[in-house]
Amino acid sequence: MCAADARHLLVAYHSRSGGTQTLADAVIAGATSEEIDDVDVRVRRAFDATADDVRWCDGIVLGTPENFGYMSGALKDFFERIYYDVLEETRGLPYTLFVKGGHDGEGAIRSVEKITTGLAWKSALAPVLVVGAIDDAAVERCHELGITFAAGLEAGVF
Ligand SMILES: Cc1cc2nc3c(=O)[nH]c(=O)nc-3n(C[C@H](O)[C@H](O)[C@H](O)COP(=O)(O)O)c2cc1C
């Protein structure tokens, strides 16, 4: 149970064939683990995430596969819907990112970073990129990303 003044963490991600979903599950498990006391975690599929979800949060974790050298259409749709609605209100919002690529993933990272730069969101932790098959180490990296981001929000260090 979170206190009334709990920090708010939004996870917004897309997955079509399940790879990014596995990574998202690990991020969420980290962010909601018992080491974290006072962070309220809200999870939204990118197509369902709204400007109000972004306004609600104190930090956001984005997740996407790389498709055609770019972020998924779903995450791009999210940015297109929220960009001008939240632009003036969310400058400095801490964020981080996880990307699932088949053979690359750097294009997806760059595409997200261009937009978060436009929004003036603050990269709180380096992105996690998982290329190819998802092994235990990849799941662990995403779990670590979730727990570290939540702990940073909780401690107010971002
Ligand atoms: C239409 C399409 C385009 C893709 N383009 C890329 C790409 O440009 N670079 C890459 O590394 N992987 C690419 N992939 C592979 C996906 O990133 C990979 O299969 C990923 O695990 C899909 O994520 P998901 O399982 O969460 O849907 C592509 C896959 C599809 C279906």
Give the tens place of pLDDT for each residue, 7-45. 999 999 999 999 999 999 999 999 999 999 999 999 999
Superfamily of domain 7-155: Flavodoxin domain (3.40.50.360)
Find out whether the beta carbon of 17 lies less than 6 Å from any atom of ligand 1. yes
Report the SS3 class of residue 129.
Answer: strand
Side chain identity, residue 83: Y
- Reply yes or no on whether the pLDDT at 1 is more than 90: no
**pLDDT value of position 13:** 99
**Domain spans of the chain, in order of start:** 7-155
In b/e form, how buried is each residue of 58-85, taking b as 16+ CB within 10 angstroms?
A: bbbbbbbbbbeeebbbbbbebbebbeee
Q: Which atom of ligand 1 is nearest to the CA of 66?
A: 17
18 Cβ closer than 6 Å to some ligand 1 atom? yes
So what's the pLDDT on residue 93?
98
For a substitution probing ligand 1, which of 22, 23, 27, 67 has the most ligand atoms within 8 Å of its CB? 67
For ligand 1, atom 28, the nearest C-alpha belongs to 67
Residue 90 Ramachandran class (φ > 0 left, ψ -120 to 50 alpha, else beta): alpha
Summarised one tens digit per residue, pLDDT across range 110-151 is 999 999 999 999 999 999 999 999 999 999 999 999 999 999
Q: How far, in Å, from the CA of 65 to the mean position of ligand 1? A: 6
Alpha-carbon distance values, 22 to 104, 139, 152, 155 (Å) = 18, 8, 23, 27
Closest ligand 1 atom to 16 CA: 27
User: Ligand 1 centre and the CA of 66: distance in Å?
Assistant: 5
pLDDT of residue 2: 65
What is the whole-number distance in angstroms between the Cα of residue 17 and the centre of ligand 1?
A: 9
**Model pLDDT for residues 49-95, shown as the tens digit of each residue:** 999 999 999 999 999 999 999 999 999 999 999 999 999 999 999 99
Whether the model clears a pTM of 0.85, i.e. scores above it, the answer is yes
**pLDDT of amino acid 55:** 98
Q: What's the rounded Cα separation, in Å, for the pair 89 and 113? A: 18
* Res. 3 pLDDT band, cuts 50 70 90: confident
pLDDT score recorded for residue 16: 98
Q: What is the number of alpha carbons within 13 Å of residue 33 lying toward its C-beta?
A: 17
Assess contact for 60 and 93: CB atoms under 8 A.
Answer: yes
Give distance in angstroms: CA of 139 to centre of ligand 1.
Answer: 18
